């Protein structure tokens, strides 16, 4: 039953106190097999070696135990926290371990005199206000676009805001009120901000009522232009609320998370749906890391959910405000009961400074949300199971490493940029597209870079990104990239951050691919600009293989275009250097022979056939091009 001798086992078990604490089981190599907590350590640890009806999974574990260690704690809550930290630190093979991902995006309203609206990840700055968390960057982007459309708040960085001399593109398409150039007063802008904040807090109907009163006041004062603007805002907001009618609860019903655990063919999934300020923000599927439940593993959804809640919410090191990460109500698709759940709820309440309630079998809107979460968990499992094979495995690995939230891998769209030139000559930028799990050559684009100092890669990168995404707000959803790869180091990535900030685009999309030593695949560093640490994946990483493939394709496409442009530039310039060949004669030559290549292949006699070309000039042309 165990590798421990009966004498040693009984002796060790007798020494265990009947107190709360944490226990750890070790194998022959000294690796931790399992970490657990207990109200009574003596009873809990002894049960593993005295029961005859062990589940197959536990029986396999017990057979490998060589020794165990215990740590006594003052309370069950302390034991819970210690267990949580040890599981995350050691990743024991017989524990369920979900990916430690607290990099949720938030919607930030800055503390500036003219507050800025932005997607944000990272450490909280108390001068700003944060709303969320959102399950994915798409949900934040959608909310930002709603607020831009209805309240026209600025999204540009402060450095851009204070240096503008005329309104930007977003003002032209009615997505910003242009406070940067005084298009409205500070009080007017502040009023728009307050209405946006109330909307984010779920006070939707009151905001609509205030807007209607404001429109009436402007109309009575014969300020018809302002009345028309408010009228359009009411129409936009009403449209948004109508579109989201199925996802909105009554004003003031607070924040809710809906958790659904499902097991299918040995695979485990927890689907987390988030409701904040009465709005359903979307959901996200989580899969345990480094574990697959075999058919005899006997995991139960209640065990999975308890583990997920513990690991997901009880993280004392999170940068987010606990009160925003943890809602007051958790709805689950299975009942969670027992002493351990009571301890967990007590710990969560202490951690978040708000009472946390578990709810099973909800009614009304909650019932609909739970049903949707269960359905999405099953769909996510089916897709996970089907995502096998070379290319799909690489895409899945990349989605996991970068925490990309996708309903299906086919949705992933990556755009990659590269700059190429020769000593500053014939600078070209390339954009290649990866979508539907393969390169989309028909969507590749080249950009001729003009008006910059030769060799200035930073200016070239700024120009190509601005040209590519200047109409970002109008791009169809299926054409919006989930990831923008920049072939370059911190300098190029910083330029990308500036451009995205100016255009109101989520900077979390940007990933720089800094070359390793000698450009060897596997030594690259991934660089982020949204607060995440740089990442080195290693030569064996499936995710890096995909990134390297896309990066190399962008480089190849840029080099090909650059060489063709350089050859054309050099040949045409050689023609222009011939004395006596002006614009008109050059055009006649190119038209007669179908381009510069035809001119270069023409004989002297053929050149003489062109109007305005003398024998002397024909000989000069021939010598220059040969």
Rounded CA separation 510/506 (Å): 8
- Over residues 433-490, the pLDDT tens digits come to 999 888 898 899 989 888 887 778 889 999 999 999 988 878 888 888 999 999 888 8
Nearest CA to 102 out of 386, 317, 385 is that of 317
pLDDT value at residue 552: 85
Residue 77 has pLDDT above 90, yes or no: no
Rounded CA separation 175/153 (Å): 7
- Over residues 268-312, the pLDDT tens digits come to 899 998 888 777 778 888 888 655 544 445 678 888 899 898 888
Domains, in order of start, for the chain: 6-90 (3.40.1440.10), 106-247 (no CATH), 256-386 (3.30.420), 409-565 (3.30.420.340), 577-624 (1.10.150.20)
Per the confidence metrics, is the pTM higher than 0.85?
A: no
- Over residues 225-236, the pLDDT tens digits come to 778 878 877 877
Residue spans of beta strands (DSSP E) within 110-255: 117-120, 129-131
Where is pLDDT greater, at 494 or 200? 494
Rounded alpha-carbon distances, angstroms, from residue 12 to 32, 69, 240: 18, 10, 65
Where is pLDDT greater, at 341 or 6? 341
Residue spans of beta strands (DSSP E) within 287-356: 329-332
Rounded alpha-carbon distances, angstroms, from residue 555 to 336, 413, 488, 563: 54, 18, 11, 12
């Amino acid at each position: 039953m165990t590798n421990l001798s009966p004498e040693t086992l009984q002796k060790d078990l007798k020494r265990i106190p009947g107190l709360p604490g944490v226990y750890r089981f070790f194998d022959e190599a000294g690796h931790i097999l399992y970490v657990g907590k207990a109200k009574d350590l003596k009873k809990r640890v002894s049960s593993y070696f005295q029961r005859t009806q062990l589940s197959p999974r536990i029986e396999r574990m017990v057979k490998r135990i060589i020794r165990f260690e215990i740590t006594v704690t003052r309370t069950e809550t302390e034991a819970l926290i210690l267990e949580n930290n040890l599981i995350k630190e050691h990743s024991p093979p017989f524990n369920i371990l979900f990916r430690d991902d607290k990099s949720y995006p938030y919607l930030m309203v800055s503390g500036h005199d003219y507050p800025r609206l932005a997607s944000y990840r990272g450490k909280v700055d108390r001068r700003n206000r944060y709303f969320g968390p959102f399950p994915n960057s798409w949900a934040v982007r959608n909310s930002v676009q709603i607020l831009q459309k209805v309240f026209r708040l600025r999204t540009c960085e402060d450095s851009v805001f204070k240096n503008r001399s005329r309104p930007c593109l977003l003002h032209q398409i009615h997505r910003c009120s242009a406070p940067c150039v005084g298009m409205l007063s500070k009080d007017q802008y502040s009023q728009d901000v307050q209405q946006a904040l109330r909307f984010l807090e779920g006070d939707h109907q009151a905001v609509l009522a205030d807007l209607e009163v404001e429109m009436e006041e402007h109309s009575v004062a014969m300020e018809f232009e302002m009345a028309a603007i408010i009228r359009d805002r009411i129409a936009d907001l009403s449209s948004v609320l109508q579109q989201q009618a199925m996802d909105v609860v009554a004003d003031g019903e607070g924040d809710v998370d809906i958790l659904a655990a499902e097991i299918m063919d040995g695979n485990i999934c927890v689907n987390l749906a988030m409701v904040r300020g009465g709005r359903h923000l979307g959901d996200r599927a989580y899969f345990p890391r480094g574990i697959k439940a075999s058919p005899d593993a006997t995991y139960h959804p209640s065990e999975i959910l308890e583990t997920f809640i513990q690991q997901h919410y009880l993280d004392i090191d999170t940068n987010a405000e606990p009160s925003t990460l943890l809602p007051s109500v958790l709805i689950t698709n299975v009942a969670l009961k027992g002493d351990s759940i009571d301890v967990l709820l007590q710990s969560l309440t202490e951690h978040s400074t708000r009472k946390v309630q578990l709810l099973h079998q909800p009614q009304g809107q909650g019932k609909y949300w739970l049903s949707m979460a269960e359905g999405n968990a099953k769909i996510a499992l089916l897709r996970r199971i089907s995502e096998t094979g070379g290319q799909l495995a690489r895409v899945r690995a990349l989605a996991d490493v970068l925490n990309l939230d996708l309903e299906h891998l086919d949705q992933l769209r990556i755009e990659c940029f590269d700059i190429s030139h020769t000593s500053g000559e014939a600078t070209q930028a390339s954009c290649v597209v990866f979508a539907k799990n393969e390169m989309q050559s028909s969507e590749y684009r080249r950009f001729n870079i003009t008006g910059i100092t030769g060799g200035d890669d930073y200016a070239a990168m700024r120009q190509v990104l601005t040209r590519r995404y200047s109409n970002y707000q109008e791009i169809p959803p299926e054409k919006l990239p989930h990831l923008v790869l920049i072939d370059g180091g911190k300098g190029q990535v910083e330029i990308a951050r500036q451009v995205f900030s100016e255009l109101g685009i989520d900077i979390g999309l940007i990933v720089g691919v800094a070359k390793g030593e000698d450009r060897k695949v596997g030594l690259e560093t991934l660089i982020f600009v949204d607060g995440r640490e740089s990442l080195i994946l290693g030569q064996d990483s499936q995710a890096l293989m995909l990134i390297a493939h896309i990066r190399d394709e962008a480089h190849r496409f840029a080099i090909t275009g650059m060489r063709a442009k350089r050859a054309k530039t050099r040949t045409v310039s050689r023609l222009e250097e011939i004395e006596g060949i002006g614009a008109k004669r050059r055009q006649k030559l190119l038209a007669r022979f179908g381009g510069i290549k035809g001119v270069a292949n023409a004989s002297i006699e053929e050149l003489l056939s062109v109007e305005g070309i003398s024998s002397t000039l024909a000989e000069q042309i021939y010598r220059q091009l040969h």
